Amino acid sequence: MIIKPLFLIRNDTHHLSKLLIHFSTDNYNKAEGLSLLDAKNDAEAISAFLNEFRDSPLTLQSYAKEIERLLLWCIHIAKINISSLRRNHLVAYQEFLKDPQPKKIWCGPRVSRQLKNGAINPAWRSFNKGLSATTLNKTITILDSFFNYLVQTNYLTGNPLAVDRRRKKRNRGQLKIIDRYLELDEIHAVLNKLADYSIQSNHHAFQIIRARYIILLLFYTGLRIAEAAHHTMGSFVQRENQWFLRVQGKGKKWRDIPVPDELLKALAEFRLKVGLPSSQPQFKEKTPLIPMKNLTQSITTRRIDQILKWAFNLGATHLECSHPAKASKLRSASAHWLRHSYVTYLLDSGASLKVAQENAGHTDIGTTMHYRHIAQTDRHAATRTLSLLVNKRKKK
């Protein structure tokens, strides 16, 4: 069996409706009466939902990917359409997401969907591997939005994921601590290893210089990698001799991030080393914020993640003997950990929750408050001398 991509982003509803119509399903969840959607079938309803995000290409891409995965599972495993999905189907699908089987059919390296001649790439797979708990939660959140949309437009009667969402609401009061961040010595280990690598290899000078710049850019601004990939050097703006990085983030919301002096220094060093004409960005400069070697095209979010994975692995080799636990942590790190590091050390440096919230672009200050690990060091120092030994207690 070969699983072919559905090319959902193209909204090929005719092709999709032909795939879904052959199942003997009961459409038990299909709402009766008039719908707010001009949709005669599931394929057209899906198209209407995705069309809501046509002005947000990154959101569209993310939502389309998750809906396509669900549809591929419906077509090739459950043999069911969207209007007939029940609660038990969604439970089974979540288990499938954790471990897609058989792996040779569902999982493989990330490759393009199409070959250069336009044909479907036979090496394409819907998954790279099973989803982690964090990624699974994001997937369910997206599918929940999808089903809610179909319910609100009176295309479906109910949301088969609603039980999951209610359970999540009951757990909102539980402690949540952000621990996927890099400590300063771990970041220095990566930067030091890149410096060593630069001396040893003259053939990859640009890649090494750029990797260092990406790490510093994300650490000193807290950018999401999508934001870093879709802005230019002209996003650096100066007001009254102070520099800000103006970015458009989630929900198309703009924010100005104050630029620390150390980032200005790193930016100037990067620009001069790669051959840009000035150490500071020019007004409305079109050079990508993170450019390819030609300095005219921006690299992709996927490429940013690959570069940082490579750099983190270099840093891990530097710590392998002296701090094996830190080396293991670095090998698990991703680009988003630098964003967590930014908020962590911004708060640790004395910034208020409000400043951290606005700089990071958190809609809810409750998200910023999850960075409670910054208080752990002081509490540990105050607690570490607790002892059952009488002599040790008297020394206090």
- What is the tens place of the pLDDT at every residue in 263-294? 999 999 999 999 999 999 999 999 999 999 99
What is the band of 27 on the pLDDT scale with cuts at 50, 70, 90?
Answer: confident
Q: Using one digit for the tens of pLDDT, what is the confidence trace for 339-376?
A: 999 998 888 888 877 888 889 988 776 677 677 555 45
DSSP string, 302-353: HHHHHHHHHHHHHHHHHHTTT-HHHHHHHHH--THHHHHHHHHHHHHTT--H
What is the band of 153 on the pLDDT scale with cuts at 50, 70, 90?
Answer: confident
Helix (H) or strand (E) holding 377: helix 376-383
pLDDT of residue 252: 84
Q: Is the pLDDT of residue 55 over 90?
A: no
Q: Using one digit for the tens of pLDDT, what is the confidence trace for 235-248?
A: 999 998 899 999 99
Q: Is the pLDDT of residue 61 over 90?
A: no
CATH architecture of structural domain 184-380: Orthogonal Bundle (1.10)
Determine how many CB atoms are found less than 10 A away from the CB of residue 385: 10
pLDDT of residue 395: 53
The secondary structure of the chain in percent helix, strand, coil, rounded to multiples of 5, reads 55, 5, 40
In this structure, are residues 327 and 316 in contact, taking their beta carbons and an 8 Å threshold?
A: yes
What tokens appear for 171 in the block? Answer: 């757990």
What tokens appear for 324 in the block? Answer: 């094996």
Q: Using one digit for the tens of pLDDT, what is the confidence trace for 66-113?
A: 999 999 999 889 988 899 999 899 999 999 999 999 999 999 988 888
Compare 383 and 142 and report the one with higher pLDDT. Answer: 142
pLDDT of residue 262: 93
pLDDT of residue 301: 92
pLDDT of residue 373: 59
Print the SS3 string covering 241-272: CEEEEEEECHHHCEEEEECCHHHHHHHHHHHH
Alpha-carbon span 375 to 332, nearest angstrom: 24
Alpha-carbon span 215 to 197, nearest angstrom: 16
Give domain limits for the chain: 8-170, 184-380
What is the band of 306 on the pLDDT scale with cuts at 50, 70, 90?
Answer: very high
User: What is the model's pTM?
Assistant: 0.59
What amino acid is encoded at 368 in this protein?
Answer: T
Q: Is the pLDDT of residue 161 over 80?
A: yes
pLDDT of residue 304: 95
- 220 Cβ neighbours under 8 A, 6+ residues apart: 259, 260, 262, 263, 266, 342
pLDDT of residue 94: 94
- 198 Cβ neighbours under 8 A, 6+ residues apart: 205, 208, 209
What is the band of 24 on the pLDDT scale with cuts at 50, 70, 90?
Answer: low
Phi, psi of 349 (to 5 degrees): -80, -5
DSSP string, 378-393: HHHHHHTT--S-HHHH
Q: Nearest Cα to 73, choosing from 29, 28, 119, 127? A: 127
Helix (H) or strand (E) holding 14: helix 13-20
Sheet of 242-248: strands edge to edge?
236-239, 242-248, 254-258
Phi, psi of 49 (to 5 degrees): -65, -50
Average pLDDT of the residues in 53-64: 84
Q: Is the pLDDT of residue 167 over 60?
A: no
Q: Give the single-character DSSP code of 232.
A: B
Burial of residue 165, with CB atoms counted within 10 A of its CB: 0-12 exposed, 13-18 middle, 19 or more buried: middle
Average pLDDT, the chain: 84
